[in-house]
Amino acid sequence: MMKTVYTENAPQAIGPYSQAVKAGTFLFLSGQIPVNPATNEVVEKDIVVQTKQVMNNIKAILDKESLTLDRIVKTTIFVTDMNQFATVNEIYGNFLGDHRPARSTVEVSRLPKDVLIEIEVVAYIGNI
């Protein structure tokens, strides 16, 4: 059984997709970009500010399903400049604490709304 997930505390989808889809014991979050849900605008073009906003957007979607960041099992990070990897890694790590999900990081030439970062997530919603 599948169910779409929506919260006003994360950015609205900018295309024909859902913020997240619950399928069985997993929650699949669409790639989150650094849009402030209160203003529906991209935040400052700074990798620190943008990474924090993306992680807060992910947290908001997980919160909607009463999940925490430690339920994340896999992330894929897309960045437009791999030279920013150390900064992204530090902020990402600060949000996750000791939790270490599987992860891929890829440099891409361009992202929606010309943002610097996008992160997609898979979270486990079953019993641990």
Helices H, strands E: what count in the chain?
2, 8
Specify the pLDDT at position 5: 96
pLDDT for 25-57, tens place per residue? 999 999 999 999 999 999 999 999 999 999 999
pLDDT at 122: 98
47 phi and psi angles, rounded to 5 deg: -60, -35
- How do 26-32 and 2-5 pair as beta strands? unpaired
Q: What CATH number does domain 2-124 carry, 2.30.110.10, 3.30.1330.40, 3.90.1150.10, 3.30.70.640?
A: 3.30.1330.40
- What percent of the chain stands above pLDDT 90? 95
Length of the chain: 128
| Helix ranges (DSSP H) in 65-124 | 85-96
Q: Are the C-beta atoms of residues 75 and 124 closer than 8 Å to each other?
A: no
**So where are the chain's domains?**
2-124
